[in-house]
Amino acid sequence: MKSKRGSKPPVKAGKIKAKVIYLTRRPPGKTSGGAARLERDTMGELEVPADAYYGVQTARAIENFPISPLRVPRSMIRALGLIKWAAARVNTELGFLDPKIAKAIRQAAQEVIDGRLDDQFPVDIFQTGSGTSSNMNANEVIANRAAELLGGKLGSKLVHPNDHVNMGQSSNDVIPSAIHLAALEQIDKALIPALKRLYTALAAKAKEFDPIVKIGRTHLQDATPIRLGQEFSGYARQIELGIQRVERTRPSLGELALGGTAVGTGLNAHPEFALRVIALLARETKCPLREARNHFEAQAAQDALVEASGALKTVAVSLMKIANDLRWLGSGPRCGLGEILLPETQPGSSIMPGKVNPVIAESVMMVSAQVIGNDAAITVGGQAGNFELLVMLPVMAHNLLQSIALLARASENFAARCVEGIAADQERCRAGIEQSLAMCTALAPEIGYEAAAQIAKEAYKTGKTVREVALMKKILPESRLNHLLDPWRMTEPGLTDGKPGGAGG
Kind of pairing between the strands at 213-218 and 255-256: unpaired
DSSP E strand boundaries for 147-227: 213-218, 221-227
Which residue among the candidates 32, 219, 350, 479 is catalytic per the annotation?
A: 219
> What is the 8-class DSSP label of residue 434?
T
> Are residues 167 and 257 in contact, defined by beta-carbon separation less than 8 angstroms?
no
130, 160, 318, 349: which one is catalytic? 349
Distances in Å between the Cα of 371 and the Cα atoms of 129, 132, 308, 310, 406 are 21, 26, 12, 10, 8
> Quick check: is 349 catalytic?
yes
Rounded Cα distance, 209 and 235, in Å: 13
Helices in 383-496 by DSSP H: which ranges? 393-417, 426-431, 444-447, 449-462, 466-473, 478-484, 487-490
Beta carbons within 8 Å of 334's beta carbon, 6+ residues apart: none
Closest CA to 224 of 5, 499, 44, 443: 443
Q: How far apart are CA 81 and CA 174, in angstroms?
A: 11
3-class SS string, 329-350: HCCCCCCCCCCEECCCCCECCC
Q: How far is CA 167 from CA 31, 102, 177, 270, in A?
A: 31, 11, 15, 10
For residue 329, report the phi and psi dihedrals to the nearest 5 degrees.
-65, -30
411 catalytic? Reply is no
Of the candidates 318, 361, 320, 355, the one whose C-alpha atom is nearest the C-alpha of residue 340 is: 361
One-letter amino acid identity for 41?
Answer: D
SS (H, E, C) 85-124: HHHHHHHHHCCCCCHHHHHHHHHHHHHHHCCCCHHHCCCE
The total of other beta-carbon atoms located within 10 Å of residue 195's CB is 25
Catalytic residues: 219, 349
